[in-house]
Each structure stands twice: as structure tokens, then as C-alpha cells.
Amino acid sequence: MKFEDIKGVIFDLDGVISNTSRLHNVAWQQVAKQVGAQWTESLSNNLKGVSRQDSLELILQAVPADHQYNEREKQELANDKNKHYLRLVDNMTKNDILPGIVPFLESLKHNNYQLALASASKNSSRVLEKIGLSHYFSEIVDPQKLSKGKPDPEIFTTAAKLLSLKPDQCIGIEDAAMGIQAINAANIFSIGIGEQDILKDADIVFENTNLLTLNNIREYFEQRELRQTI
């Protein structure tokens, strides 16, 4: 794959475009407290990029009691989390956009890249609207229409199809290990945002979104081509 072959960029939302991951954490912590599960850094990290129902199951697995939650109770807990999260979302502004993202989106649009959003969040459209970025994305994958969540590649292969592109014509950007697994499984070039140790399977890892630029991505491709010719 060459840099010139890339025609589309597929974004995760939480931890990549905005700090909604923090809001999810606040809302999930409330649920954990409600069911008596101990909130840990490990549990918090495991929820990144995971669907609402799968996140709830992970929290319930951390409940020390023997109580088995039925489907109605689980749905009520998921709904409680979502209501709390949406109250936080409704207070979001452009100040919640992560550093460097707007210039990156502008450069992508200026260079005629097609953009899609591939988030497990059912409220991603609402978030984009609140922070004023909806107009950048021609396609938003509806996670409710998918049969499998990350790390399955379905959400990213779906995004590529919506853009009418082949997977190897796309870049996928994620901040979670399971998201990187999903991108790689979709045969899409993967960029991780965060710690190298956690995102070691990504093709490129940038420590933060400020480093996410077309020039930095182009430089990686050029260096890789140079290594291949040596």
C-alpha cells in the first residue's frame, strides 16, 4: 500500500475526535456503584470501544455478589447509563474536541479524502452535532445495524462500503486495542492514538491527536517504502 492509494479515513469517536470517553466513564462509574462493582483502571480500559451491552456485561462480571441480573434488569441499567451519558453530552461544546482534530479534518477535506465515523456509540451523531463536526463526515455507521462489535471488523468494513472504497484504500483511527484489532482484521491501515504498549498492533501509533497530521502519516509511508528498497 502506498500513501497515494489512500482515499478515505475512518474515525472512531471516543478518545479520537472528542473526550466523550471521559463522559462514558462517568456514566459507567455510576452504574458500577449502583450494582456494587469495584471501579478499577483495568475495568475502565476494558470498556473502551466496546458496545453498551458488552460494557454492562463486563461491569456485572465485576460484581462480587451472586445476584444474577435478568434481561429486564440489564436493560434498565443500560438505559440508566445512557440517560446519564446524554445529559453530559448535551453540555458538550467545541471545547470538547481533542487538540489537532479540526486542523486534521480540514486538511483531509481540502485534499478530497472521504470521511466516515465508525463508533460503537449509538449517540455518535448527537455528539458530532453538539461539537459542531457533523459536516465533515459523509457517512456514519449505525452500530444498531451491525451483528458484531469490535474487535470484529464489521464496523470498519461497513464504513469502507459506505464510502464506496476498498478496505486497502482506507485508514482507520482508534484509541483502543480492540478497535485496532478490528481495523487490522478489516485489512485497513491502522493508526492508534495513545500508548505504544497498549496499541502495539497498530501500523502507526501517535501519542496524542496533535501529532495526527497528513504530513506525519505521509512521512511514515515514505520511510516504509525506503526501508523496503534497501
pLDDT tens readout for residues 15-67: 999 988 789 899 999 999 999 999 999 998 888 767 788 899 999 999 987 77
What one-character-per-residue DSSP string does 129-155 give?
HHHT-GGG-SEE--GGG-S--TTSTHH
User: What average pLDDT does the chain have?
Assistant: 93
Cα(202)–Cα(192) distance, integer angstroms: 6
Give the gyration radius of the chain's Cα atoms: 18
13 phi/psi in degrees, rounded to 5 = -105, -65
Residue 64: the pLDDT is: 83
Categorize the per-residue pLDDT at 163 as very low, low, confident or very high, splitting at 50, 70 and 90: very high
Cα(82)–Cα(79) distance, integer angstroms: 5
Cα(28)–Cα(2) distance, integer angstroms: 41
pLDDT at 230 over 80: no
Categorize the per-residue pLDDT at 105 as very low, low, confident or very high, splitting at 50, 70 and 90: very high
pLDDT at 101 over 80: yes
Q: Is 14 a catalytic residue?
A: yes
pLDDT tens-digit profile of 146-159?
Answer: 999 889 999 999 99
Residue with cell 482534530: 101
- Whether 82 and 31 have beta carbons less than 8 Å apart is answered as no
**Of 14, 80, 96, 197, which one is the catalytic site residue?**
14
- Dihedral sign, Cα of residue 87, residue 91, residue 94, residue 95: negative
- Among candidate residues 61, 15, 12, 10, the one with its CA nearest the CA of residue 36: 61
pLDDT-above-70 percentage for the chain: 99
CATH superfamily, domain at 21-89: Putative phosphatase; domain 2 (1.10.150.240)
Q: How far, in Å, are 24, 59, 62, 88, 155 from residue 40 at the CA level?
A: 14, 10, 10, 22, 28
Q: Is 12 a catalytic residue?
A: yes
The architecture that CATH gives domain 3-18+94-229 is: 3-Layer(aba) Sandwich (3.40)
pLDDT tens-digit profile of 117-140?
Answer: 999 888 899 999 999 999 999 999
Cα(174)–Cα(205) distance, integer angstroms: 10
205 phi/psi in degrees, rounded to 5 = -125, 125
Residue 18: the pLDDT is: 94
**Of 5, 12, 80, 197, which one is the catalytic site residue?**
12
Cβ-Cβ contacts under 8 Å for 150 (sequence gap 6 or more)? 49, 50, 51, 120, 176, 178, 179, 181, 182
Helix (H) or strand (E) holding 174: strand 170-174
Residue ranges of domains in the chain:
3-18+94-229, 21-89
Residue 30, judged by CB atoms within 10 A of its CB (0-12, 13-18, 19+), counts as middle
